[in-house]
Structures are given as C-alpha cells and as structure tokens.
Amino acid sequence: MRLNHLLVPVCLLITTCSLVPASSDDLVRIGLKKQPLDLHGLKAARMSRMQGKNGKSLNALRPHASDVDIISLKNYMDAQYYGEIGIGSPPQKFTVIFDTGSSNLWVPSSKCILSIACLFHHKYKHTKSKSYEENGNSCTIHYGSGSVSGILSQDNVKVGDLVVEKQIFMEATKEGSLTFILAHFDGILGLGFQEISVGDVVPVWYNMLEQGLVTEKVFSFWLNRNTDAKDGGELVFGGVDPNHFKGKHTYVPITQKGYWQFEMDDFMIGNHSTGYCKGGCAAIVDSGTSLLAGPTGVITQVNRAIGAEGVVSIECKQVISDYGEQIWDLLVAGVQPDKVCLQISLCAPKGDRSASANIKQVVEENKEHISVGDDLVCTACEMLVYWVQNQLKEKDTKDQVFDYVNQLCESLPSPMGESAIDCNTLSKMPNVTFTIGSKNFTLTPEQYVLKTGEGPATLCVSGFIALDVPPPRGPLWILGDVFMGVYHTVFDYGNVQLGFAEAA
C-alpha cells in the first residue's frame, strides 16, 4: 500500500500512450512512449520447480498462449513502472502503478475538484459509462506520502485484453501530498492479497480468476532497468514469458498473506554475512517500492561499505557518549542483547510499543518519514547494541569498537532516507547478496545505485533506505524495483509462493 519512492531529484515528464495492435504471438500489448527527461526542470521530491494447474510447468508456458495477458510497463528513471488500463463502457484510459504491496484499485474522480493533484491527471466520469453501478461507501487509503479518499464505485475494468466485470474500485475525490502532483501515473492497481484490502474490497486479480479470464493462477513481472529503452517492462497475467528470464526460478513459500511475504536466509556485503538474518528475516516483494528497504542498523552498514554520505545522526552519537560504556559492560557481562536497552531504560518493554501492533500501519507511515524509528533514542540504542555485539565477536579493543561505531553513526541515512554516492567510485564498491531459498541473489554496484542526469550533473544515490518494523512482525525487508529489475519475479497465487530468476 505505497507509492514508488524516488530518492533523487525528479521532474515532470510528458508522456503519450497508444494502443499497439496485437503482435504475431497473439498477445495484446499496450505500448507506452515517453519524451526525454528535462534536466532543467528537476525538483526535489520523494516519489514515490513449480507446477501449475493440471501439473503443467509454468516455466514452460509460451508467450502465445491464448490465456495469457501481457501488460507493457513504462519505466520512469528506474523509479516508477506503470501501464494503462480502462474503466467503464466505453473504457476511460488511466495509467496505474501495478502494486504488489497493496490490494485496492483507485483512480481520480471527476468529483475531485479541490485537490491540485487531480488537475494533472485523468479523471473518471461515471456519467459517461454505461456499465457504471453506484456503491457510495466512503473509503480512505493511507500511504506514507499522504492519503487518498473518495467513494467506492462499480464498473468494468479493462486490463490489457481482459475485461473484469463489476469491479469495485475507489473514485478518489481528495488526493493529498506533493507526491501525487508529481506522479507520472493516475492511480494504483493493487496486486496484494485481499487481507490488506481497505474495505475488504475484492481485488482486481481475484476477480480475474473468479471470472475465468486466466487459467493459471500466476502473474509475473519483468522490469527493464534500461531507462533509454522503449519498453519499460512487462506484467504477464496467467503465466510467464520465458524470453524475460534465464535458467530456472527459485521458489519460496509465502509465510503470511497480505503482502507477498517470505523468509530470507541471509544478507551479505561483499562475501561477508552481516549476521542480521540469523534464524531468518521476514521480507516482502513490492513492485510499488522503488528501492531496497531494511532495518536501519544493517542499512547503515551497507551505506558505509559503499561510501554513501549520510547525514550525521546526533542521537546516535549522543547515545554512544552517554551510554556506550554501559552497553559495553552489559554485553561483556553476558546480558542478552535484546535486554540491554531495556535495562538502561532507553527502551520500553516491547509490549508497550504501539508501533508493533500493525505491520500495515508501520510500513505505510514510516515510508514517507524514514528515520531511525519513532523512538529515536531507543532505536539508536538497539543499533549500537547490535553493532557493538558484532565487533565483540571480532575481539577488537574497546577503542577500536567505538571508533567503528562512531563511523557507522556518521553513515546513517538522512531523515528523508537519501544517501549520495560518488559516481566515480562504483568500481570499488562491494556487491551485496540476498540469500533466498538457499540460493544467492547478487546485486552489483551498477544495479543497486540509481543514476540521474548526465555529465557533471550526474547524481548517484544509494538504492538502500532504512525502514524499521519492530518485533514481532519485524525486522522486515522490502525488495522493491531495484531487486525486481535484476530478478524476474513470479507471483504464484495458486501455490502461494514466489519465484525468482535472473532477468533476461
């Protein structure tokens, strides 16, 4: 339930959309065109072996299968991927983010007259649709960058060559936040599970299956990371396109419905494990998030290792100054790490921390105000305990440990999450690796660093941002477009699992 978050300067991009005739493989493709980025208009903003039905291998599905629907996606600066849908009879066209991190469909309403964002986007007019049916229930969807509210309506929704009948969606009558004004999309089409659908509205994907529009209960993403390429990527409903991946997919089960959540085995910087995922880490794959989000402690280590210049955290250094000796003594004395901050009264008992009550609220609300957590002192303490504990294993002296920890404090991301990088140092940066299903999925510096601009104006930004989701539901990693652009992803609803393979 989130918008793409672009942590680099962005500007408005004029786009044109056109329907492309069906190709020779009998698949309906929606073509999208774009004009070059206007660098003079830049403005800072945060935008945001598997078996199918009847035992048929989904990897063997050919792209000409009549029951497969392909949606071409637009890539805006490796940060927004969106495609075109139609709502109503005749269809009114909208560009939407196909978001696996949310489950509702919404587009601006013709009744949206008081929000500036609606002036810049297409608006749904139910009076021009023969298939419109009134619902009238009010609805509000909260995102990290703001909220959208409106009324629920029912109409036919055309996705590629498929028409989903009687789909309930939200006509947004109010859109807050600068993010929606600068967005290069009109609305959002959620592809998450119904468990996180606001108002318990049946998602578009569920109705596709219920109405028999696709036979295989699977959809897959290919995201093109080449910003100069005509095609931004493809979303395939009902199967996979073998032209978009190499080898075989590695599949892992969904551990909890809602988001597409699974268990990650490890995370490594270079060839060294961070130890953060000992015993497993919860992670979700989210096509609606541009970057890679993880716990502040380990993300800070990543940004230090790659030379990212974060803003100095006053709270972090203050905790070192005031409580560093106590933290050291307690750890050396054998106090359990998760009890240290509680013992020195910098953290409240976990049961009293309301942020842990609802993962949905934490993921959404923290997304816009990414920092070291709601309770800065507590979070800083927990990070320091983690860092000091790791250094104790290396048998370094106290002075060496605190010198290292101070360096980590200096590498903390800024309050908005940005961490700039010298573009000339990419060749010296380490690879990072996610271990999923006992297999390593590696990203090179060229893959996890975002670039914008040309020549002297080129800006490089770390693809890692900090996001702290407390226990029992956290820590939580969010693998967004930075990861999905390198690894073709299969969302297997029928077998409740995810598949990853190297993108072609």
Question: Could you list the active site residues?
Answer: 99, 286
Helix, strand, coil share of the chain (percent; to 5): 25, 35, 40
Cβ neighbours of residue 333 closer than 8 Å, sequence gap 6 or more? none
Residue 325: HSE in the Cβ half-sphere, 13 Å Cα cutoff: 2
Beta-strand ranges (E) seen in 67-191 are: 69-76, 80-87, 92-99, 105-108, 133-143, 146-159, 162-175, 187-190
Cβ neighbours of residue 321 closer than 8 Å, sequence gap 6 or more? none
Query: Quick check: 77 and 3 in contact, CB under 8 A?
Result: no
Peptide bond into 253 cis (omega under 30): no
Measured at the CA of 186, the angle between CA 180 and CA 192, to 5 degrees, comes to 90
Cβ neighbours of residue 212 closer than 8 Å, sequence gap 6 or more? none
d(CA 393, CA 389): 7
Coil vs helix vs strand at 19: strand
